[in-house]
Amino acid sequence: MKKLIIILLTLSIIGCKKQEKIKTIIKETDNYVISINYPITNNNKLNKQIKKYVNNEYKKFIKEKHEEKVELNIDFKINENEIIIYSNNNSKTFKYKTEKTKSITTYKYINKIKELDITKKSIALTFDDGPSTYTKEIIDLLNQYDANATFFILGNKVEIYKDTLKYMLESGNEIGNHSYNHKWLTHINEEEIKNQINKTQEIIKTNLDYEPKIFRPTYGAINKKMRETINLDIILWNIDTMDWKYKSKKKIINNIIPQIEDEKIILMHDTKKITYETLKQLLPKLKEQGYQFVTISELKEIKTIREKT
Ligand code: ZN
């Protein structure tokens, strides 16, 4: 069977500053350096063409055996009716109609390329209620195991932990909205719900140039009013680690292990020391069993591709 490898591009959103050049070296080995920037517009067709081109250039580059240090540079320039993508000695122009893309307000830039094997068992670790003083250590630990996770954060903590959150994104993790100050959203009215969500979106956007696309309800409580009011994808979980309740990591691990399966979403809290301690044992254990650790959006993408093939 043909092994299917997908290249998932981790995107971070940066405000619309056409003139600003953002160069991120995303991969460096003894033999090569890769630096990729490309625009994502709100025109799906155009996005597909651009992505295809960038992916092809990337694959071509990786395929070649490089004896000496070489660089792949992909960058772009946006003119009025066209986007030009530069890739080392090549360049390709994508024409589009201005009126169709007039509403572009943000561009997303790749800051990391991950190669995820869709044939591999995948787990989405998620952390609620942070960030906290433990979050940075948790990110370090994830990095150590080549793992990424999703953090559903509280709006009122964004300014205090701005640096941690930047590090979180740079490491390839995803951020989700978990309300402003952990109110029971099923107990408040529509306007207050909107306020809890929007205030959090805004403070994240202002501080991190990033816009969450997913939301996790506090206490996992959800009703019709919330579904109608909240404009983000609502994400629950399959496995509750009970790290908020159990005091022993052995107990937490024994609770998780029998429930682990491909495509499961795991609930944890990055506000607890015990969670960090548990992860230290859990990550190598699951990695040994052949799991890869992906974000919620990546899991979604993997599931979509699996359904199609
Ligand atoms: Zn919570």
Mean pLDDT of 225-232: 94
pLDDT of residue 65: 67
pLDDT of residue 70: 83
Mean pLDDT of 271-289: 96
Confidence of residue 22 (pLDDT cuts 50, 70, 90): very low
Rounded to the nearest whole angstrom, what is the distance from the C-alpha of residue 126 to the centroid of ligand 1?
11
Mean pLDDT of 55-83: 82
Nearest CA-CA partner of 72 in 41, 31, 20, 19: 31
The mean predicted confidence, pLDDT, of the chain is: 83
Confidence of residue 225 (pLDDT cuts 50, 70, 90): very high
**Which residues are registered as beta bridge partners of 7?**
115
Q: What is the distance of C-alpha 163 from the center of its chain?
A: 17
Q: Any idea what the Cα angle at residue 202 is, between residues 196 and 113, rounded to 5°?
A: 115
Rounded to the nearest whole angstrom, what is the distance from the C-alpha of residue 177 to the centroid of ligand 1?
10
Rounded to the nearest whole angstrom, what is the distance from the C-alpha of residue 259 to the centroid of ligand 1?
21
Rounded to the nearest whole angstrom, what is the distance from the C-alpha of residue 200 to the centroid of ligand 1?
14
Most confident region among 60-69, 105-114, 212-221 by mean pLDDT: 212-221
Mean pLDDT of 59-65: 81
Residue 4 reports pLDDT greater than 90: no
From residue 184, alpha-carbon distances to 130, 179, 193, 203, 226 in Å are 17, 9, 9, 20, 11
The span from the CA of 206 to the CA of 185, in Å, is 24
Rounded to the nearest whole angstrom, what is the distance from the C-alpha of residue 37 to the centroid of ligand 1?
35
DSSP letter (8 states) at residue 35: E
Residue 27 reports pLDDT greater than 70: no
- Can you give 248-288 as a three-state secondary structure string? CHHHHHHHHHHHCCCCEEEEEECCCHHHHHHHHHHHHHHHH
Confidence of residue 38 (pLDDT cuts 50, 70, 90): confident
pLDDT of residue 81: 77
pLDDT of residue 15: 32
Rounded to the nearest whole angstrom, what is the distance from the C-alpha of residue 183 to the centroid of ligand 1?
9
pLDDT of residue 172: 83
Beta 239-240 vs 233-234: how paired, if at all? unpaired
Mean pLDDT of 304-309: 75
109 CB-contact burial (10 Å; exposed 0-12 / middle 13-18 / buried 19+): buried
pLDDT of residue 62: 82
Rounded to the nearest whole angstrom, what is the distance from the C-alpha of residue 76 to the centroid of ligand 1?
40
pLDDT of residue 17: 30
pLDDT of residue 42: 62
Active site residues: 128, 269
Rounded to the nearest whole angstrom, what is the distance from the C-alpha of residue 279 to the centroid of ligand 1?
19
What is the tens place of the pLDDT at every residue in 109-156?
444 556 667 788 999 999 999 999 999 999 999 999 989 999 999 999
More confident: 98 or 267: 267
The span from the CA of 71 to the CA of 89, in Å, is 11
Q: Are 116 and 292 in contact (CB under 8 A)?
A: yes
Residue 3 reports pLDDT greater than 60: no
What is the tens place of the pLDDT at every residue in 81-102?
788 888 887 888 888 765 433 3
Rounded to the nearest whole angstrom, what is the distance from the C-alpha of residue 53 to the centroid of ligand 1?
41
Helix (H, G, I), strand (E, B) or coil at 231: coil
